[in-house]
Amino acid sequence: MSRKGGRSIRFVVVTTNKGKAEEFREIFTRYGFKFRVEPMETPEIQSMDLREIARNSVLYAYSVLREPVLVEDAGLFIDSLKGFPGPFSSYVFKTLGIRGILKLMEGVKERRARFKSALAFYCPITDSVHMFTGEVEGWIAEKPRGEKGFGFDPIFVPAEGDGRTFGEMDVEEKNEFSHRARSAEKFAKWLSERLVEIPPPYE
């Protein structure tokens, strides 16, 4: 088993996002997994469903890398904006940015929001995509706070926290609540339970 015996499938985490990579690293190192991060761009299909986007990207990544591979797609869903920016979060972050979102939220009292994560793992041994999801509820702060994390972290306050934004938390703290930590922990537990016999060349 991967955790006890150190026996684990080698896999590749494909992401261009250094913040994400750091969060995965903190979790997967705890499980003793053998993995590397590949900053490869994958085409993102247009879909309202993060799972469909992640599934498509992981199959593309596997077609290039030919190794067990993990891709995650995430987004910020704001209730009063009917779930915007959701699957468009990456594009909206680069265009409107945090300021743009705060502008759209000016004078809005209902500030509930959630981050969602869909993690897709393609396993050549089972020849299937295994999907894991995670969510965190919270609200949009009035002003950005904190320099840590990435993306919309400075304006997201997790409901289970102490009022600080994700931008004010270290990776370990963010990983106690985050959407990504939740999907990654589900994946990590699933993988730990299955790794008994790993055929070469994947061990």
114 part of the interface to ligand ITT, by CB under 6 A? no
| 122-154 CB burial, b ≥16 within 10 A, e <16 | bbeeeeebbbbbbebebbbbeebbeebbebbbb
- Taking CB under 6 A as the criterion, the residue among 20, 55, 114, 182 binding ligand ITT is 20
Taking the C-alpha atoms of residue 182 and residue 61, their distance in angstroms, rounded to an integer, is 23
Strand, coil or helix: 32: coil
- CB under 6 A: which stretch of 9-17, 27-35, 103-111, 189-197 binds ligand ITT? 9-17
Distance CA 80, CA 77 (A): 9
Candidate residues 2, 89, 165, 175; the one interacting with ligand ITT per rule CB under 6 A: 89
Q: How far is the CB of 127 from ligand ITT (least distance, A)?
A: 24
DSSP H or E stretch at residue 183 = helix 179-194
Q: Should residue 175 be labelled a site residue for ligand ITT when binding is judged by CB under 6 A?
A: no
Q: How many CA atoms lie within 13 A of 17 on its CB side?
A: 15
Please tell me whether residue 15 binds ligand ITT under the rule CB under 6 A: yes
- Rule CB under 6 A: choose which of 37, 70, 105, 153 binds ligand ITT: 153
Q: Does 98 bind ligand ITT (CB under 6 A)?
A: no
CA distance 36 to 69: 10
Is 132 a binding residue for ligand ITT by CB under 6 A? The answer is: no
Query: Catalytic residues, which ones?
Result: 73
Contacts with ligand ITT by CB under 6 A lie at 15-17, 20, 73-76, 89-90, 93, 115, 149-153, 166, 178, 180
